[in-house]
Amino acid sequence: MPSPILDLAGITLEVNHLPRGVRFYEQVLGLDLLAHDEERGVAHFRVNDAQTLTLWKPLTRQANDPRLAPLRARGASHLHYAWQIQPGDLERSKALLDEQGLPWTEIDLGTPERPDPTVYFFDPFGHGLELRGVDLLDERQPTYPPTPASRPAHALPVMGLREVALAFGDYAAMKERLPRAYGFAYAKEQEDRDFAQFTLGPGPEPDGNGTPRRWLYAWDPQVGLADMFGGDHALVQFYADMEAVLERVRKEGLPHVLEEGRLAVRDPEGHVFEFLPPRRGGAL
């Protein structure tokens, strides 16, 4: 049976200072600000036609999104996530990070025959960001393929969100549950780490070599590459065949909210996953 998960739709990050977050994501990443509400503690950005990035500042006795209050949703803390860029933009990106005074680390995730240089850096809130080159002509295309974006000259030329890495205390249970309870396509795990890779698409695929596909990574609490954590209490949005996911979630008996055409589920480890129906076109 193909996985009902279609693509990565967005992430929500927890921040302790909203204006600083808005400044960083507008200036460094060049994202378009769609909404900024200090009273609700929410800033919402467009990444591309299909993906968004949201910042939540926790407020006492107040839910950032009342719809998700029953699930006690929070933005992710110290989340590792990756941006898709064109490989030819990597050198310029490093220079832009230098100009912004942001330290970065470069790691080659490829092989001597096929290098895959990747750049890691942090936002002001301890989230671990990555710039990963993708081959736009690769045949492994996601449902909503990345396309070159026009960003301000001072901003990183990011095209889309590529991956999100979450921490799970009970790694073994997670590995069974994610495919069973939601239908995530388990691709593989790393030999030397408790690190599982799920393809956000109809079936498991090999990672790497510039694939434009999107990924959910899951590992036990550990510090991974470039000293980056997997996120805690993450809030992640996915495009999906919602009926198929809802059937699994009900069978699993997980707390969920079905409202405004979106299905939100609280995972036993405290992450909240939101499943959105496929887009009908048009810009965000």
- Write out the residues near Fe ion by the rule CB under 5 A: 82, 130
Burial 152-180 (b: 16+ CB within 10 A, else e): eeebbbbbbbbbbbbbbeebeebbebbbe
Between residues 123 and 130, which has the closer beta carbon with respect to Fe ion? Answer: 130
Minimum distance, C-beta of residue 105 to Fe ion, in the bound complex (Å): 12
Q: Where are the alpha helices (DSSP H) in the chain?
A: 18-27, 90-99, 171-177, 242-252
Strand ranges in the chain using DSSP code E only, listed in sequence order: 5-14, 32-37, 42-46, 52-56, 80-85, 105-108, 117-122, 128-133, 160-167, 185-189, 195-199, 215-219, 235-240, 256-259, 262-266, 272-276
- Closest distance between Fe ion and the C-beta of residue 209, in Å? 15
Return the number of the residue (195 or 266) whose C-beta is nearest Fe ion: 195
Spatial separation of the C-alpha atoms in residues 214 and 210, rounded to whole Å: 11
7 or 163: CB nearest Fe ion: 163
> How many residues appear in the chain?
284
* Nearer to Fe ion (CB atom), residue 131 or residue 235: 131
Rounded least distance, CB 80 to Fe ion, Å:
6
Q: Which is nearer to Fe ion, 144 or 219 (CB)?
A: 219
Q: How far is the CB of 118 from Fe ion (least distance, A)?
A: 7
Q: How far is the CB of 4 from Fe ion (least distance, A)?
A: 24
